[in-house]
């Protein structure tokens, strides 16, 4: 009961105060109520839907307070709401049968196996939180098996494609962004937070915070990236601290969607018969490192992968290139 009161107060205050102040308020309330006995006077929430709404609001408020990114919270909440619309049940009464039924319907709408597995993962994350906080006894998603995926080969840019993209960069910002992504392998969501002063121009090092893994790591600019970043920054007439800023006043930081659009337009200008997107540069950088015999452990550190199996995909991509070269060498006409 005490926890419910604390959560209700925090949910009421969350729109009006910062995340840090919310954490402080939580600590103060917990201390104030520690020696207080709270006796239930009113009945529980009257309807199943009211209870679901309360539980979801409580979850959202708490995970945001704990630092989960807005993007991740949005994905998790969307999955829960969609599932509850289908099952029309209280969260406390959801079973593995309900989850399987929902995911089967979700797959039937044309979603591929990977997308269905992601939806399962989103649901599992929320139910795990509910279990850890004593709202449910078990996570119903755990009994639903993960569907087997056919993982496609790593998608990366070939040398001629990279050069075509470079030629298509007519503005200093376009070229600077492209070379930055190609050199650092940064996730696109990590870029908006970077400021001019974060760059060590002597070493080309940048310390960045990765929201996906909730830790810091260092990324590196090569000579080409440093030259084009300097050229871009020298061309700017604004005082914005953002590494990549808008071209018009008030010169705000270019956020993730804006960066994606810039990269997409570069690809269109280059006339490539393929989709060009920010993560493609991260995969290209990693594959290039592997082709040059960089150790998998080093690539894992550079990319900030928590799971080594994620990095192993780049080994397979590099191995395919090697096998093609071997085949060409020994099976060419006249050899």
Tens-digit pLDDT profile for residues 288-326 = 888 888 887 888 888 888 777 667 665 555 556 565 665
Global pTM value: 0.66
User: Which helix (H) or strand (E) segment is 207 a member of?
Assistant: strand 205-210
**What domains lie within the chain, and their CATH numbers?**
43-143 (1.10.150.130), 159-331 (1.10.443.10)
For 20-57, how does the pLDDT look when each residue is reduced to its tens digit (9 = 90+)? 888 888 888 888 887 777 766 554 444 556 789 999 99
Q: Can you spell out the DSSP letters for 19-63?
A: HHHHHHHHHHHHHHHTTPPP---SPSPSSHHHHHHHHHHHHHHHH
297: enclosing H helix or E strand: helix 296-303
Residue 322: its pLDDT value, please? Answer: 60
Report yes or no: 51 and 45 within 8 Å, Cβ to Cβ: yes
Give the pLDDT mean for 126-155.
Answer: 91
Between these two residues, 180 and 287, which has the higher pLDDT value?
180
Give which of 24, 19, 123, 30 is closest to 61, Cα–Cα.
Answer: 19
């Amino acid at each position: 009961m005490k926890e419910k009161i604390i959560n209700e107060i925090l949910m009421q205050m969350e729109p009006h105060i910062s995340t840090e102040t919310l954490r402080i308020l939580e600590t103060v309330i917990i201390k104030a109520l520690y020696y207080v006995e709270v006796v239930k006077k009113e009945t529980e929430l009257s309807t199943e839907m009211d209870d679901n709404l309360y539980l979801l609001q409580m979850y959202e408020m708490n995970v945001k307070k704990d630092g989960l990114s807005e993007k991740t919270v949005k994905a998790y909440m969307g999955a829960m709401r969609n599932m509850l619309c289908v099952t029309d049940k209280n969260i406390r009464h959801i079973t593995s049968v309900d989850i399987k039924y929902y995911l089967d319907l979700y797959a039937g709408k044309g979603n591929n196996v990977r997308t269905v597995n992601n939806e399962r993962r989103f649901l599992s994350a929320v139910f795990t939180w509910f279990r850890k906080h004593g709202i449910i006894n078990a996570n119903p998603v755990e009994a639903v098996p993960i569907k087997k995926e056919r993982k496609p080969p790593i998608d990366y840019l070939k040398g001629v494609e990279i050069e075509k993209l470079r030629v298509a960069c007519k503005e200093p910002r376009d070229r600077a962004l492209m070379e930055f992504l190609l050199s650092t392998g940064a996730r696109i969501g990590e870029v908006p937070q970077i400021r001019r002063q974060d760059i060590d121009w002597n070493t080309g090092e940048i310390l960045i915070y990765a929201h996906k893994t909730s830790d810091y790591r260092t990324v590196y600019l090569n000579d080409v990236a440093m030259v084009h970043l300097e050229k871009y920054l020298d061309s700017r007439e604004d005082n914005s601290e953002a590494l990549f800023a808008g071209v018009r006043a008030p010169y705000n930081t270019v956020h993730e969607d804006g960066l994606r659009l810039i990269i997409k337009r570069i690809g269109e200008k280059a006339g490539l018969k393929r989709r060009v997107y920010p993560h493609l540069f991260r995969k290209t950088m990693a594959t290039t490192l592997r082709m040059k015999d960089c150790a998998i452990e080093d690539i894992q550190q550079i990319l900030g992968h928590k799971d080594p199996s994620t990095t192993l995909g780049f080994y397979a991509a590099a191995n395919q290139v090697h096998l093609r070269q071997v085949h060409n060498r020994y099976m060419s006409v006249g050899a």
